[in-house]
Amino acid sequence: MRFLFVGDSMTVGRAGDYTWRYRMWRHLDGCPDGPHEIVGPRSGLYDAGTDTAVSTDYAAPFPAAARRHLAGWGEGWFHMAPLIGPVVAEHRPDVLLVSLGLIDLGFYTDSDQTAGNVRAFVAAARAASPGLRMVLLPVIPNVRARDDAPFAAECERFNTALAKEVAELDTAASPILLASPPEEYAIDTDTYDGTHPGPSGEHKLAAAFATAMHQAWGLGGPYRATGPTAPADPGTG
């Protein structure tokens, strides 16, 4: 089974992070229904010095093949919808694990426009691989949503729209799951800056995807938070 991570800054991570991708790889690597493979055109972490995902400074040993992804700092549904078709055609994933939306609502599109980009993304991905499976994570509100009521309402409207899109777009041939948001996700303790996940947040995001796949498809197994923890320094994530 081949997996492709698709996401924004919360998924790509920055230099010094483990990333929830690492936590998910550890989980899949330990599941008895493997082998599982991570695919994608990119492999780097975000490097603030170059403003690109070129860093390889992961916080733990992470095999090069397992670092692959399609995620970018500041990229959302708006950016990924035009990219996903060619990437799926080239890298042939069986399952997309998608965490997008916060950056869209914060800078690029409103909830209705973002929902339209979700539809375009799904259509392009399926055109490249008609039997593709997808797991979509709702927007996880960040510190801005806590302090900005209109933005929080827009996040809520999008998550409602996303649930409707998943219900309408899900098919037997190409199933789509809406993962449940992590329970008790705390901005102050599960992120290192109010948005990007630290160690506990990484585990919770990975668990949301793992639980959805296991419960709906019998894929993988129950999530177990194994592996090293991140350094205590909150700046490293």
Q: What is the pLDDT of residue 224?
A: 85
Does 237 map to a domain? Answer: no
CA nearest neighbour of 154 among 163, 145, 162, 143? 145
Question: How far apart are the C-alpha atoms of 150 and 182, rounded to whole Å?
Answer: 22
- The answer to whether residue 162 sits within a structural domain is yes
Q: Is residue 29 situated within a structural domain?
A: yes
E strands present in 72-197:
95-99, 133-137, 176-178
pLDDT at 225: 80
Distant-in-sequence, close-in-space partners of 48: CB < 8 Å, separation ≥ 6: 14, 15
pTM: 0.94
**Structural domains in the chain (count):** 1
- So what's the pLDDT on residue 232? 34
Which domain covers residue 149, as residue numbers? 2-232
CATH of the domain at 141: 3.40.50.1110
The one-digit pLDDT tens for each residue of the chain (237 residues) are 999 999 999 999 999 999 999 999 999 999 999 999 999 999 999 998 888 888 999 999 999 999 999 999 999 999 999 999 999 999 999 999 999 999 999 999 999 999 999 999 999 999 999 999 999 999 999 999 999 999 999 999 999 999 999 999 999 999 999 999 998 899 999 999 999 999 999 999 999 999 999 999 999 999 988 766 633 333 332
Residue at 187 is within a domain: yes
Q: Quote the pLDDT of residue 180.
A: 97
Give a yes or no: residue 143 inside a domain.
Answer: yes
pLDDT of residue 227: 63
**Residue 125 falls within a domain, yes or no?**
yes
- Strand, helix or coil for residue 122: helix
Residue 86 domain-assigned (yes or no): yes
